[in-house]
Chain A
Amino acid sequence: MKTLIQLALVAPAFVVGCASTAPTQELVDARRAYEDARISPAAQHTPDRVLEAKQALDRAERAHQDDAGSFDEKNLAYVATRRSELAVVYGNYEAERREQAALAATYKARQDQLRRQQQGELDDTRATLGSVQSSLAGTRAELEKSRSETAAALASLEQVAKVKEEARGMVITLDGSVLFASGKSELLPIAQKKLDEVAKALNDTAPDQTMVVEGHTDSNGNDASNQKLSQDRADSVRAYLVQRGVKSERITAVGKGESTPVASNDTTEGRANNRRVEIVVQKAPPTR
């Protein structure tokens, strides 16, 4: 009976003893919190904080071994839990900071790239502008040279022929008596010199324009012979101009006979004016 009583007294004490070695809920939480911290980014980013959490847990474990279920164990386990949570937050914070730094670097790199791109485009534009300006200057110089040559050619032409602008184009009038002997269609030697000047002026001033050589007579003689003579003379002038470099496809010859007088055929002077060859340089079509 005595033994039974002793056993009855010892058994609860044993149970209490076993129960007291079981960790408190606070310690269980602390262990779990530390495991979470150990596998969190904190292990990589802020290992010192994980170490602090481990040290706090070790303190709680010692308190548990020294006096299981005690105030110390519970409080130190609570502190250990918070240290582990703190380690996780430190790790996350550090990860955020690193991401922010990486983003800032990316932002700056992109900005630099855009700046370089814009600078490159600006340089290209400047280079193009410089090239265009240079080309424009060249074109201006060429145009100026061309104008000078045209003016010189026209001035030279005006010394050997009458030049005037009409609706049908520029009309160069050559005196018939200077070009041909009376009733003939062969060019006189002096006429060839004048036509040399005309050919040069035509090539300089209107190299691509079409033109018509018109032969005109006075009213002496019959219409048919005048018509033939004017055509023959126009043909002679055309042939000579082609010989002097005017493109054949640009130039045609037309005999007008006595049909288009510019003065009265009743006077000697008037008839002299009517005997003529006109070169009509047709106006160039407007460029677009």
Chain B
Amino acid sequence: MTRLTTILGCGALALVACSSSHSMPANYAPAQAAIGAADAVGARNEPRAALHLKMARDAVAQAQTLASRGKEHEAQLTLERARTDAELALMVTREVTARREASAAKHEVQGLQRSN
């Protein structure tokens, strides 16, 4: 019984050691943060931004798979892709918003210039 317990204990420890050796690379958190930021500004509502947001999420999923297989370097590069796609989604959304605001401001100025 004691032997069995020892074997089970060692097995559990081996599993923990195995999972910790396949943890996500350090750039996982920045990639996720970039995805969260893009989502927060409404990237999913802008077609081009939504496409990059999806690519970013797919890349994170792909990186998780690579990491789970022990391919940390590949996972890291894939997360870099995810981060740039997420940043692009964020900026595309901001740029579209800024363009709309500039257009509205232009109309306001034109309206004011027509008055009097």
Give A contacts to B, CB under 8 Å: 71-72, 75-76, 78-79, 82-83, 85-86, 89-90, 92-93, 96-97, 99-100, 103-104, 106-107, 110-111, 114, 117
Question: How many A-B residue pairs lie within 8 Å, measured between CB atoms?
Answer: 67
Q: A100-B105, A107-B108 are in contact. Are A71 and B74 (CB under 8 A)?
A: yes
B101 within 8 A of partner (CB):
yes
Is B112's CB under 8 angstroms from A107's CB?
A: yes
B residues contacting the other copy or chain, number (CB 8 A): 26
Contact yes or no, A93 B94, CB < 8 A: yes
Name the residue of chain A whose CB is nearest to the CB of B77.
A75
Contacts of A78 in B (CB 8 A): 81
In the bound assembly, the distance between CA atoms of A92 and B93 in angstroms comes to: 12
Tell me whether B35 is interfacial, beta carbon within 8 Å.
no
Q: B84 touches which one: A79, A99, A106 (CB < 8 A)?
A: A79
Please give the distance in Å from B102's CB to the nearest CB on chain A.
Answer: 5
Let me know if B77 and A76 touch, CB within 8 A.
yes
A103 CA / B116 CA spacing, docked (Å)? 19
B77 touches A103 (CB 8 A): no
Closest to B91 in A: A89
Closest CB of chain A to B78's CB: distance in Å? Answer: 7
CB-CB under 8 A from A106, the residues of chain B are 109
Given A86-B88, A89-B91, A92-B95 in contact, is the A75-B81 Cβ separation under 8 Å? yes
Complex alpha-carbon distance, A86 and B93, angstroms: 12
5 shortest interchain CB distances as A-B pairs? A82-B84, A96-B98, A75-B77, A103-B105, A93-B95
Would you call A83 and B81 a contact (CB within 8 A)? no
